[in-house]
Structure 1
């Protein structure tokens, strides 16, 4: 079964285009607040027109869960898989997957971006920083 695909909009297209080009971007307001996912206004001060910034690709694990049940048939062959909250070095948090074994996950572990492809869709996943690529 085919994986569910994101449906980019005018608002989210810069994010998906950047991943396709090999890097991760996030939004930042002139007030300094940074976030993901994309929004039309800053979630802190409500100013419109945030700018996109390129992320370093580095971050830390905040939390994670390991799924042992597939709630969509397309995920059945990926079991068990993790869904991990990563805080980017620049501040935003992103729900993602860590590509290393689930047993290696640890709170505050450093991670680095590893873009992976599902068909023609580039996804922001991460690997533990101390494990070679």
Structure 2
């Protein structure tokens, strides 16, 4: 409501991030089952519809964001084969900066990355009326 009071008309919704995958995908349900902070910290399909409708009634467009190709640590429990394992000092799963940097980037030579993203983005597009998805 505050957005409309201030004449803001685009809600850029960060529906997934590095540390958590709260978007409940019907195509890939394990992403939120294993990647969300808790089973209660998710955006269900009903939640997504409610947010979109609430925004629409106030003249606000909702643009979803899926953090990729980096910031994908939340994917590693459900789909470890898609993630690049980072190495440091000759050892795998080593972060040389920050936290969780040891597994946070898609593996660009893994073909399943592209088919998975194609399917997920098609699902997101079907759930959001916006012509845009931020990656």
When normalised by structure 1's length, the TM-score is: 0.23
State the structure with bigger RCO (CA 8 A, min sep 6), 1 or 2.
2
Asked which structure has the greater CA Rg, the reply is: 2
Higher-helix-fraction structure: 2
